[in-house]
Amino acid sequence: METKDRPVRTRFAPSPTGYMHIGNLRTALYGYLFAKKEGGKFVLRLEDTDAKRYVADAVQIIYDTLRDAGIAYDEGPDVGGPCGPYVQSERAAIYKQYAEELVRRGGAYYCFCDKERLESLKDENGVGRYDKHCLRLSEEEVREKLAAGVPYVIRQNVPETGSGSYEDLVYGTVTVDFKDIEDGVLLKSDGMPTYNFANVVDDHLMGITHVIRGSEYLSSTPKYNLMYDAFGWERPQYVHLPPIMKNAHEKLSKRNGDASYQDLVEKGYVREAIVNYIALLGWSPKDNREKMTLRELEESFSLAGINKSPAIFDEPKLRWLSGEYIKEMDDEEFARRARPFLQQSKAYGKYDEAKLLRLLKTRVEIFSEIPAKIDFLEEYGPIDPALYFNKKMKSDAEVAETVLPLAEECLKKVETFENAAVYAALVALAQERGMKNGQVLWCVRIALTGRENTPGGASEMAELLGRERTLARLQEALSQLQKA
């Protein structure tokens, strides 16, 4: 797709104010995917003109997050490009030039009102609206104030009547009455632009054909179009995205402490699963697939698949998707990613790592589950006799008193103390004694772990513990039963 014969160019323009939150990353992802699908360019621009909200190291967080998520930009502050600089604080002279040009074209005007006058326009609720006072100054008055060095801002000149309409590629025709739009500040008294002005100038100069952003900008877009029209510039195509909700009533918001991309990574979600899931928050492919690699997303993405309805962030679904990615990893990849979480476990370094990882691979959905899955190995203590009771297995403490000494003798004779051999020996024991397999296996697992739920059965736990610890725990468990 092209916009009036222009190659597609999209941009992601975050403010460096902290971690990358889900909504921001989705905007970046959709911009990237659309550009890739259309053979265009994806641009990163940093909107850092609001010094009060600037957070140290946030720029590096933006670079690291996009890189980590696999979202590669073609142009940006750290990779260069033909439309730089790509940092707004380095473009102040450009904004001043275009703000003054907009004044000459009648789309803006100088405003010299001081703080006291602006405060006087507010009502008892602190809500005020600028009254176009300075628009009525004569050219001579303006020249005199500028020559005298009176502080000023440049405000947009919004018509007092009429309305602005445009076609959004998701929401269709959008119309806003100009009476609902204030004459906002475009250039502040310190010479820095506001977001509203800078992004229009930058989008034009950087050749952006499609502006992809959140639906909260639907109603403010007509004021941007007024600037495009006043300059005589071609408007971009607009793609507004539905909000991401934490539930039916609340938006997902970093102000409310909702998860950022980095939070999810630190929780142990698979990175590819996070990106995959974020892509599905407001978009769906024609074939309704859910698990898609980034390459598959690049091939499948289309604006037609974007929904108007809000998307609900469903963490259980993300967990499931993360688990699906884990299952498909080869052992080497799983070990590499799991090891930092394994190192947080009390069991780390005390058991064969390869055996631990083999047990865990099909039993975790997020890596942070790993410590809790295996910490019990080092928390072995008194076993509640009630744990031996299992109606399905026809087991209880009395059955365990019979099974445990037999199992101890049986496992002393196993030549190769590995899962398959241990399992075969315990099943053979059950058959010899006329017992159900489950009776023997359940009692042995409870005796070895003291837990009802473990990442593996009796024979897997025995292999992990090794012969010496297995026999010692069977003896200890039997001793506890006999004293109970």
Catalytic residues: 254
> Which residues on neighbouring strands pair with residue 187, listed in sequence order?
154, 193
Token representation of residue 398: 């009395």
According to DSSP, residue 7 is labeled P
Where residue 256 falls (left for φ over 0; alpha for ψ -120 to 50; beta otherwise) is alpha
Q: Which residues are 396's β-sheet partners?
A: none
Q: How far apart are CA 477 and CA 381, in angstroms?
A: 9
**Distance from C-alpha of 2 to C-alpha of 81, rounded to nearest angstrom:** 21
197, 99 Cβ separation under 8 angstroms = yes
| Cα 319 → chain centroid | 13
Contacts 24+ apart (CB under 8 A), 91-97: 91/198, 91/202, 92/191, 92/192, 92/193, 94/201, 94/205, 95/187, 95/191, 95/192, 95/193, 95/197, 95/198, 95/201, 96/187, 96/191
Find the angle CA(13)-CA(210)-CA(175) to the nearest 5 degrees: 100
Provide the token pair at 99: 């703000």
- Structure tokens of 426? 């315990």
Burial of 316 (0-12, 13-18, 19+ CB in 10 A): exposed
**For residue 74, which of 64, 65, 84 has the smallest C-alpha distance?**
84
